[in-house]
Structure 1
Amino acid sequence: MTTTRRGISADQLLAGPRGRRMLLDFAQEFGREADVADRHPLDSAAFDASYRLAKLAGRSITRFGWPPVDPEEIPSATPADVAAALATSPLPTPTPELLRSCLASSVDAAMYWQGPDGDDLLCADPAVREALRRVADRLCAAPASAWLAGGFEPGRQVILNWQEAQDPPPCPAVAVLGTWRDAVSEEEAVARRERPTDPAANWSGEWWSTPPHGLPVTCGELFDGTPSGLWFVEDALGWDRATARRVAVPSGARVFEIDGAEDWASLCRAHPLEVTALRRHDWYRATGGFREPGWAGRWLVPDWAAVAEHYDAVHLSYAGYLSAAGRAIPVEGAVPGDPACSLIAGWNPDATYWLTDLTDRGGEAVPWRRVEDADGDHSWV
């Protein structure tokens, strides 16, 4: 069932890398709309400072611009310059469509198999983060942001079938969960024996923390009736055609709502599954900062097979995603020994993973396709 919620808060948007990235994108929209020959001061400062941070942090990156720039030259722009520009830059008028576009850009930029890019490093700088509060206050005060405070809505759930995907036939959820837990436990044991314990070692593997592939995943509908899952996809593959079917949510379904880091931590605390050897290298890089190491200790994810004994589904709200995805989330008291953390990685905002079978998927099949306008902007029709 749905609950009455307050609007999303500035603190929530500033807490996580995806929220901060969305705020910077929103602030830069004014410069994109301005019909000027030169770049807007905020755009110019952010472009150069982001590149500078990425290069100094050792990221593999190059840049192009007009007039032509030396790709090896490191600009002098600093986060302080960006913070100063944010303090005085005019801000655009928030609209639901603009906020959707900014959120989609932030989701598309999420990466958990490497270190943060220049924009994420820039937004994490204390001076820039504080300057973004002005942007967050404006966004949160606008009625156009009301949908970002939404939670699970049982009457508006749809399931998407992507034309390009090659999904296997559905299996019973209990079988999918049991197979997954056995596989993770076995793979973790093998990784402990075979993988280096140095978290900075050049090693990569599975980096997501979602429930296993093969379970039903639904999403809600946005303010214009489009399924949210069309717009917000981490690690997107560029698919542009899907079919949406309305799903009848079982009466009395027990849905766990992830509204922030503590909700996720409580799942890990109650149902811990250790994945340190499997995730340490990717997640160490993903949670690092500018010349700062990431979390090098133990890593946990929720044991989804155990969670299924208490809940039918788990929903990640927009607030939960924007405030917590990509952060090393402390999980205190989950297992004896050293402190542990977890990571929300690979989730799409407003996604609901079902830990039980959804038998009623008989809604009308509505085809959707992505189109591009003359300005290069995308929409779904």
Structure 2
Amino acid sequence: MNLKTSDPSIMGSYSPHDVTFLLKDLSRIMEEDKLETREKAIQSGRHYSEMLPIEYKPSEQYLNLFYQSLNEYKKRVAHAVGVVAEQLLQVRGNNFTLVSLARAGTPIGILIKRYLAYKYNLNLPHYSISIIRGRGIDQNAIQYIMSQHPNQPIQFIDGWTGKGAISKELSKACQELQQYKELIDDRLAVLADPGHCAPIYGTRDDFLIPSACLNSTVSGLVSRTVLNDEYIEKTDFHGAKFYKELKEEDVSNHYIDAVTAEFENVVKEVEEDTKELETSYQNPTWAGLREVEEIQKYYSITDINHIKPGVGETTRVLLRRVPWKILVKNKENPDLKHILYLASERQVPIEEYTEMSYSCCGLIKTVKGN
């Protein structure tokens, strides 16, 4: 720590009033790898964060499915945002820094920031930083935030939980940041916690958060994050690409505005449900991880990281990994329309598996040595 970091790059298509990305822009210096090439490299031991997948270009039919999903679920997302925001005020007071975990956490952090502005006229700082499974959090980014807001506690935000890998990574990272222990802890806040591993959540239902449907075009045109010594120096933030060329396809701000417009329709319900949560709240049980371990045994899967439970994680498997099969609890579940579409498009088999609380689960194909 105590390294001199550069000022943040101008990244993303969001308003600077909504978020500041603490990421190094790799747009002109890094190329993407084909899905199959990247998958073989990962399964041969290369870390996933050293490479980028080619961005999935959605068809018109799939984009229509996204807009349909947004129309159906924007109020539910707004409600979950409000429930999380109300809990954060109870836990943190009204003077803290929102820190989203890029990239799935970024739109959620923006929505929480907007809810607090709408309901309480609070204007909290909001940053988006990188955390990588097996590599940790971007400590240069943490140092930068602390230099800008030295007395404000940090609240970490993500979109959803799967089996809890990022929750564990965050806990480990907070242990390594002891110099900030009065201001940093691992109480991760998420919209949906089907893995039962986040202490602050909007719901523990495994429902469709529409921002999970797309990649950069619903995440401020920013790629997933990169940590590769070829591009990242010791004093750099973790990296990402800014896809300016996808500007015409960008729905990031449309998504934020559509959900924000629902706040007035959910505010009373949010207040009631937040009070109810105070009496019905359950600490994380990590029940999802136990279900994943059962899936691992049932399908004789060697690497537990090849099992990606939940709607959000299954979507990621279909968009940027090489899927083996998709498990669904109930094929008639309306939350799974885009999952069924993507699986059909990529010719990935669907199998019913009812012994899980998740709506679905993506299984990654073993390709090492092929």
TM-score interval w.r.t. the shorter chain?
under 0.3
Q: TM-score, normalised by structure 2?
A: 0.23
User: Which one has the largest radius of gyration?
Assistant: 1
